[in-house]
């Protein structure tokens, strides 16, 4: 606690936490957008599924962190590589669970939409998106965790700021207490992020709780 207080007092903790949060959120945003768009294309089109699902499943079997050497060759060791690594870790769970949600939409709703003659935009708005939402939010929970895990690794690669950078300096000087503070902060940020997604899930999907009980 004393170490954390000292880090807060001199501003190092807040500055590094803010930098790490920006990295994580940037990667998460790009990964979520990519996963959602690809899932919609693959879920609503047989051609799209044929073109997209196979490569994504291959990517699913390759840990994003294993791609770091390749990403360093392509993008260098700056911020772009870090954000892209986080995005790659986040997009797979969003894609997988959103795509699964689309594929498991009750066929009766689809038949009802056809009977009512819903236009394509109305079909997407009233049938597809509500049906995919539970899967998307579940994917977001996994994506948030993946984003923080990837962040913890990429911040060890030529970072000049962030929690990982702070921990790297502490390792150099044998400051175990600062390393422990960094680990605790990573854990708290992950817990807070998951809690926020779960809160959104409860608010948006409140109708599911009502039907359940």
Q: Look at phi and psi of residue 162 and say left if phi exceeds 0, alpha if psi is from -120 to 50, else beta.
A: left
Is there a contact between 81 and 71 (Cβ–Cβ < 8 Å)? yes
pLDDT tens, residue by residue, 122-181: 777 777 777 788 899 999 999 999 999 999 999 888 888 899 999 988 888 888 999 999
User: What are the tokens at 105?
Assistant: 């939409």
Tell me how far apart the alpha carbons of residues 178 and 151 are, in angstroms, rounded to a whole number.
18
Assign a CATH topology to domain 2-207.
MetI-like fold (1.10.3720)
Residue 36: CB atoms within 10 A of its CB come to 19
pTM here?
A: 0.86
**Distance separating alpha carbons of residues 48 and 4, to the nearest angstrom:** 50
Q: For the chain, give percent helix, strand, coil, nearest 5.
A: 85, 0, 15
Q: Per residue in 52-66, pLDDT tens?
A: 999 999 998 888 888
Distance (Å, whole) CA 59 – CA 63:
8
């Amino acid at each position: 606690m004393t170490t954390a207080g000292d880090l807060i007092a001199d501003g190092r903790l807040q500055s590094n936490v803010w930098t790490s949060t920006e990295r994580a959120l940037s990667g998460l945003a790009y990964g979520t957008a990519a996963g959602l768009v690809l899932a919609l294309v693959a879920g609503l089109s047989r051609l799209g599924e044929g073109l997209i699902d196979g490569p994504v499943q291959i990517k699913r079997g390759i840990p994003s962190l294993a791609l770091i050497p390749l990403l360093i060759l392509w993008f260098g060791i700056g911020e772009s590589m870090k954000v892209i690594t986080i995005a790659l870790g986040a997009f797979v769970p969003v894609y997988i669970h959103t795509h699964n949600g689309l594929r498991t939409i009750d066929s009766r709703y689809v038949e009802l939409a056809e009977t009512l003659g819903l236009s394509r935009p109305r079909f997407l708005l009233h049938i597809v998106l509500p049906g995919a939402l539970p899967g998307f939010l579940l994917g977001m929970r996994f994506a948030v965790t993946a984003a923080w895990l990837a962040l913890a690794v990429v911040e060890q690669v030529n970072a000049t700021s962030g929690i990982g950078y702070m921990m790297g300096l502490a390792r150099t000087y044998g400051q175990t207490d600062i390393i422990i503070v960094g680990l605790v902060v990573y854990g708290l940020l992950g817990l807070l992020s998951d809690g926020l997604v779960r809160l959104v899930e409860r608010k948006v999907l409140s109708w599911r709780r009502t039907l359940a009980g």
